[in-house]
Amino acid sequence: MIKCLKDYEPTEVEGILSTLALALLPSPDETPRPHWQPIEEQILREVKSKLEIKGESPQNDARFLGFLSSELATAALANSNTEAIKERIGQSGLLKKSLYQIEFTKDFKQDFLSMGVRPNQVEDTIQDADKFEHFFQAEKTEVSFSIFMKAHEDFTSLVIAKRKGYHLIPTAAWKVYFAKVDCKGLLPIETLRAFAGHYGVEFKLRTHEPAKFFLNVEFPFDAGDEELGLQNLIEWPIEKDQFGDFLIKKDDAAKKWRVGFAYFVNIDRYLRDIRVSQEEYTQKRSQHVRK
């Protein structure tokens, strides 16, 4: 219990903690943190003192957010509409990983089972992630997504999922081998960018310069968009061995396209590296056993 909130109603506590937690979460456009309200300053001082946090660092931020998430869950459960609470907290990215409902589409299963990725491996990466990031927490938008990362001995597993309330719909799951992509110590979004930089195919999004990876961009509707949709937005060298992973939606109210993320992977090159890396790892392990 946060002492400075003891005289507030549970609904007020939930609102205060939600606002504070959202301000502390990482933003894809690096928006500076706002000036704190008096009650927020009291919470910051009290919790930092309670957790013995000194100075700013990603580790301290994670500890602070973990404590706030626990307090927020306690306040939320004091209300009656549990389903609505899960939707709201899930959308904000403050729900515990184990409480998200993971839903696999038919296309995802078909695409990634053929690459040797099983649903239970995806679930393990999400629920036991070493690092994770949620994007577009403050609003319920069609381009909200999350990235989860779990490190293994010679690679890290990376899962990208669309987020709708407390539902996660995986769009891609990759094995990123350290010998191929220099990603040790990176955040999930940085790892995805490095992965796309290594295996990606350069393409163009309407008014933007060609690139291998796009994050959090938007552009206005153009003539013909209503009929052509995505075909009129993306220009890239069409090859049969490409896999596109993107979250692009129309914002009818604002008359613009919103892009959460977008990249295309050269699947032949990726799968070839996976086979080689697995063979090298097996050989290394067998040599170690013989010794």
One domain, residues 238 and 132: yes
3-state secondary structure of 177: strand
* 153 and 28 housed in the same domain: no
pLDDT value of position 230:
59
Do 156 and 262 lie in one domain? The reply is: yes
Predicted TM-score (pTM) of the model is 0.72
Tokens representing residue 146 in the block:
């999350």
pLDDT of amino acid 221:
77
Report yes or no on 146 lying in a domain: yes
- DSSP tag of 231: G
How would DSSP label each residue in 91-159? HHT-S-GGGSEE---HHHHHHHHTTT--HHHHHHHHHT-SEEEEES-SS--TT-EEEEEEE-SSEEEEE
240-249: burial string, b at 16+ Cβ within 10 Å, e else: eebbebbbbe
Residue 73 is assigned to a structural domain of this protein = yes
Report the DSSP pairing between strands 155-164 and 145-151.
Answer: antiparallel
Please report which confidence band the pLDDT of residue 172 belongs to, taking 50, 70 and 90 as the band edges.
very high
CB 205 within 8 A of CB 214: yes
Residue 170 is predicted with a pLDDT of 97
pLDDT in tens, 82-141: 677 778 778 777 777 877 899 999 999 999 998 989 999 999 999 999 999 988 766 556
Determine, yes or no, domain membership for 86. no
Does residue 290 lie within any of the structural domains? Answer: no
Is residue 202 domain-shared with residue 147, that is, in the same domain? Answer: yes
| Domain extent for 126 | 99-283
Closest by CA to 159, choosing from 171, 143, 177, 142, is 171
Higher pLDDT, 32 or 251: 251
Q: What is the pLDDT of residue 233?
A: 73
What's the number of domains the chain is made of?
A: 2
- Of these ranges, 11-25, 77-91, 173-187, 235-249, the one predicted with the greatest mean pLDDT is 173-187
Interval 249-272: pLDDT, tens: 877 777 888 888 999 999 999 999
CA-CA distance, 201 to 189, in Å (whole number)?
A: 18
Rounded-to-integer distance, Cα 227 and Cα 100, Å: 35
pLDDT at 252: 77
Residue 61's pLDDT band (cuts 50, 70, 90): confident
Neighbouring CB atoms inside 10 A of 71's CB total 19
Looking at residue 242, what is its pLDDT?
A: 85
Q: What is the pLDDT of residue 137?
A: 65
Written as six digits, the tokens of 92 are 């904000």
Higher pLDDT, 90 or 46: 46
* Domain end position, chosen among 22, 46, 79: 79
DSSP β-bridge partners for residue 261: 215, 247
From CA 247, how far away is CA 261, in angstroms rounded? Answer: 6
Task: Mark which of 79, 111, 132 sits at the end of a domain.
Answer: 79
Question: Dihedral through CA 109, CA 110, CA 111, CA 115, nearest 10?
Answer: 80
Residue 214 pLDDT: 93
Instruction: Say what the pLDDT of residue 21 is.
Output: 76
Asked if residue 92 belongs to a domain, the reply is no
- 228 and 175 housed in the same domain: yes
Average pLDDT value for residue range 189-214: 91
Q: Is the pLDDT of residue 222 over 80?
A: no
- Mean pLDDT for the stretch of residues 179-199: 94
pLDDT at 72: 75
Mean pLDDT of the chain: 82
Question: Among residues of the chain, what percentage have pLDDT more than 90?
Answer: 35
Question: Which ranges of the chain does DSSP label H, i.e. alpha helix?
Answer: 10-24, 38-51, 58-77, 82-92, 106-113, 119-127, 188-199, 225-228, 267-290
Let me know if residue 111 belongs to a domain: yes
In a shared domain, residues 171 and 264: yes
Does residue 46 fall inside a structural domain? yes
Quick one: 119 and 196 in the same domain? yes
pLDDT at 286 (0 to 100):
65
| Mean pLDDT confidence for 34-50 | 83
Choosing from 79, 108, 142, the residue where a domain stops is: 79
The answer to whether position 87 is within a domain reads: no
Per-residue pLDDT at 195: 97
Do residues 129 and 229 share a domain?
A: yes
User: Does the pLDDT at position 289 exceed 60?
Assistant: no
Tokens 């195919």 belong to residue? 201
Give yes or no: residues 51 and 103 share one domain: no
Residues 145 and 250 both lie in one domain: yes
Please indicate, yes or no, whether residues 249 and 108 belong to a single structural domain of this protein. Answer: yes
Token pair recorded at residue 267? 């699947």
270 & 154 share domain: yes
Of residues 282 and 182, more confidence is placed in 182
Stronger pLDDT, 236 or 122, i.e. the higher one: 122
Q: What mean pLDDT comes out for the span 186-193?
A: 95
Q: pLDDT above 70 covers what percent of the chain?
A: 83
> Cα angle at 80 between 75 and 86, to 5 degrees?
65
